[in-house]
Amino acid sequence: MSPITVVEGRRLSLTNLDKVLYPETGTTKGEVLHYCTTTAGPLLAHLHDRPLSFLRYPDGPDGQRFFTKNVPPGTPSWVTTCEVPHSRSGPTRQVLLQDLPALVWAANLVVELHTPQWTRQAPGVADRLVFDLDPGAPATIVECCTAAQWLRDRLAADGLDVYAKTSGSKGLHLIVPVEPTPSERTTAYARSLAVEAAAALPDLIVHKMTKALRPGKVFIDFSQNAAAKTTAVAYTLRARATPTVSAPVTWDEIAGCTEPRQLTFLFDEIEPRCARYGDLLAPLLDPDRARPLPAAGSRRPGTARGEPRAGGGPAGRSHRVRPRP
């Protein structure tokens, strides 16, 4: 019989707690659930009111994996769900993880957690802008850090702050708090900056997904700003060979990164990082940090296209773009 636990008054059946999900590290399902409970504070804060998409991998990263946005069969009645409009298929229902019992229930399914850039109150109206920096081998997250610093300064030239986390896979995610904006417009703005970055640093950056263009370069994926797309949420475990986490990082860590292992974080490193830094992405939760996107075709006075303003980062520091090795 599966053990029963009570979490904040909710009875949960937890299955196969001794099952090894990550053979390379021997990490068990029980350890995965423990990670989710100890990181529940910031994890739930970034999940709040955002319809969830699941990447399930119940037999570990090497087993079957499947992606779903619909409410999974057997979801307890007390787990919050919401109706989400879809232009093609009509409305569907998706899960919202609003409290610890729901998070533990989801973790028992063994999932990556992905959310859109909007909340249930305003489907398709983004309050965040995201750039997914994806390196094509032999490029690594080190090259992503150079691209990230260019984007940080460029966004600052438009009056926007930007925060960073590892993808938990190979690259980086940059996240910008914005005033509520239709997803079509955030996507168009993100695309324009990706194109601009590729023109400014053609030996480092590409903005097209074409695989033949990507070896040795950083692909800036702006498409995750589309209303129907999702991004791995901060602090989620990833279905990789080892239990890596999509972990918030500082700009000093990005500036100082010289090898990939410096920005690779396993699940047991996250609690000490939170104790040291707090939630580095907490500003995303403060609506007063949001800024409007610039009007189409406008730029701040004195800033030429493709020439980031010196000292324009959120902390008032400039970042020199390192030459590509």
- Residue by residue, DSSP assigns 39-102 as THHHHHHHHTT---EEEE-TT-TTS--EEE-SPPTT--TTS-EEEE--TTT--EEEE---SHHH
Q: CATH number for the domain including 34?
A: 3.90.920.10
- Reported residue count of the chain is 325
Confidence band (pLDDT; 50, 70, 90) for 288?
Answer: very high
Let me know if residue 36 belongs to a domain.
yes
* Burial (0-12, 13-18, 19+ Cβ within 10 Å), 180: middle
Does 296 reside within a domain?
no
Confidence at residue 91, expressed as pLDDT on a 0 to 100 scale: 87
CA angle 244, 20, 77 (to 5 degrees): 85
Residue 324 has pLDDT above 60, yes or no: no
Average pLDDT over residues 47-76: 95
* Residue 312 lies inside a defined structural domain of this protein: no
Q: Give the pLDDT score at 234.
A: 98
Assigned domain for 314 exists: no
Domains: count for the chain: 1
Beta-carbon-side half-sphere exposure of residue 190 (alpha carbons within 13 Å): 31
Checking if the pLDDT of 2 tops 90, the result is no
Compute the distance between CA of residue 194 and CA of residue 198 in angstroms, rounded to an integer.
6
The pLDDT assigned to 87 comes to: 72
Q: How many CB atoms lie within 10 A of CB 241?
A: 13
The predicted structure's pLDDT at residue 120: 97
Residue 5: predicted pLDDT: 92
- pLDDT (0 to 100) of residue 18: 96
Residue 159 maps to a domain: yes
* pLDDT above 50: residue 189: yes
Instruction: Report the phi/psi class of residue 316: left, alpha or beta, with left for phi > 0 and alpha for psi in -120 to 50.
Output: left
For residue 314, the model assigns a pLDDT of: 33
How far apart, in whole angstroms, are the C-alpha atoms of residue 35 and residue 150?
34
Token code pair at residue 13? 């059946």
Residue 30 belongs to domain spanning = 4-289
The dihedral sign for the CA sequence 123, 124, 125, 130: positive
Residue 98 has pLDDT above 50, yes or no: yes
Kindly report, residue by residue over 212-264, the tens digit of the pLDDT.
Answer: 888 999 999 999 999 999 999 999 999 999 999 999 999 999 999 999 999 99
Angle ∠(143,212,262) on CA atoms, nearest 5: 20
275-295 in b/e form (b: 16+ CB < 10 A) is: eeeebbbeebeeeeebeebee
Two tokens, residue 48: 């709040």
Look up residue 297 and give its two tokens: 């075709």
Give 223's DSSP letter. G
Question: The tokens of 220 are what?
Answer: 């800036």
Q: What is the pLDDT of residue 54?
A: 95
pLDDT at 300 over 80: no
